[in-house]
Amino acid sequence: MIESSTSRRTFLRTSLAGGLALASGVGSSWAAEVSGQPAAGKIGDFKISLAQWSLHNALNKTKELTNLDFPKVAREQYGIDAVEFVNQFFKDKAHDSAYLKDLKTRANDHGVTCVLIMIDGEGDLSAKEKADRTKAVENHKKWVDAAAALGCHSIRVNTGGNYSPTDVTNVAEACSALTEYGDQHKINIICENHGGPSSNPDALIALMKAVGKPGFGTLPDFGNFPKDKKGEYTIDVYDAIARMMPYAKGVSAKSYNFSSNRETSLDYARILKIVTDSGYHGYVGIEYEGQRLTEPQGIKATKELLESVRGSVYRPSV
């Protein structure tokens, strides 16, 4: 009787989470696998958001804008109606209800959706000591609360450096505990390829499978993969993105340099056909990190590229 009841609750919880994911255009961890070598065909629809890191110099260095300004700037300067926050720009405000209400009101006033919060500096979820992992989980919970207050669907976490494709037990335990807390607040816990093991698709997918919860997923970043001393990728980034997409609940459009309305280091059309083939039609977040263009120029160039590719026909190069 207990086993039957538990199974029913698990089924209902899984079904609800999957339904919410499909309704919002967010990927499901039960999606079919896709190929890093997509066939010719139409690139589907997706929404465009602005990752706050694209303006990190304006926020950190020149101080020409604040976190509270971000939704207005996204809408008025770039014509973007969805934003992805970075916690370091309002580090002490996770439980400041008045501040979060003000930020949410400003977003609403400008017709801007709060998509997610990227979390840094809250501890190592893969730490060797259980006490350290437990502390990291507790540290992240306040950002789940903040994300819920802002109406976000996810927080992005860093998974840490103490795991491998064959050893994910400890980090999976921590991520599972955090995901259970996220489920209570309808907030997904998502992992970006953000250096260390997370940029190894074998390790990250092993973690996805070990946790195995609908509220736990990936945030594939187009560019955060290992490079050699010459700046060349050491793995097939298209295959890596394709392997991450079945678990994706967000997508990060990393950009560096442009020539003739093309990103010079990444084939955006190919990547976005991979995204299309996975069934994803949620937000694709602009994250400009280049040096040649200013932050405003880089954001605008990335947006123009995404808009030009969206709805176009992808044709593999010969």
DSSP codes of every residue in 102-113: HHHHHHHHTT-E
Tell me whether residue 229 is exposed, middle or buried, using C-beta atoms within 10 angstroms of its C-beta: 0 to 12, 13 to 18, 19 or more.
Answer: exposed
Q: How many CB atoms lie within 10 A of CB 163?
A: 24
Share of the chain above pLDDT 90, in %: 87
| 270-301 pLDDT tens trace | 999 999 999 999 999 999 999 999 999 999 99
CA distance 170 to 150: 30
Residue 50's pLDDT band (boundaries 50, 70, 90)?
very high
CA distance 166 to 46: 34
Architecture of domain 2-314: Alpha-Beta Barrel (3.20)
Tell which phi-psi region holds residue 303, choosing left (phi > 0), alpha (psi between -120 and 50) or beta.
alpha
Query: Which residues, 6 or more positions from 175, have their beta carbon under 8 angstroms from its beta carbon?
Result: 125, 157, 159, 189, 191, 207, 211, 216
CA distance 38 to 277: 8
Q: How many CB atoms lie within 10 A of CB 260?
A: 5
Q: How many CB atoms lie within 10 A of CB 230?
A: 5
The pTM for the full model equals 0.90
CA distance 10 to 112: 34
At 17, is the secondary structure helix, strand, or coil? helix
Residue 15's pLDDT band (boundaries 50, 70, 90)?
very low
| 154-208 pLDDT tens trace | 999 999 999 999 999 999 999 999 999 999 999 999 999 999 999 999 999 999 9
Residue 86's H or E segment, with its range, is strand 82-86
Residue 57 DSSP code: I
Q: Which token pair is 122? A: 């809250």
CA distance 56 to 265: 22
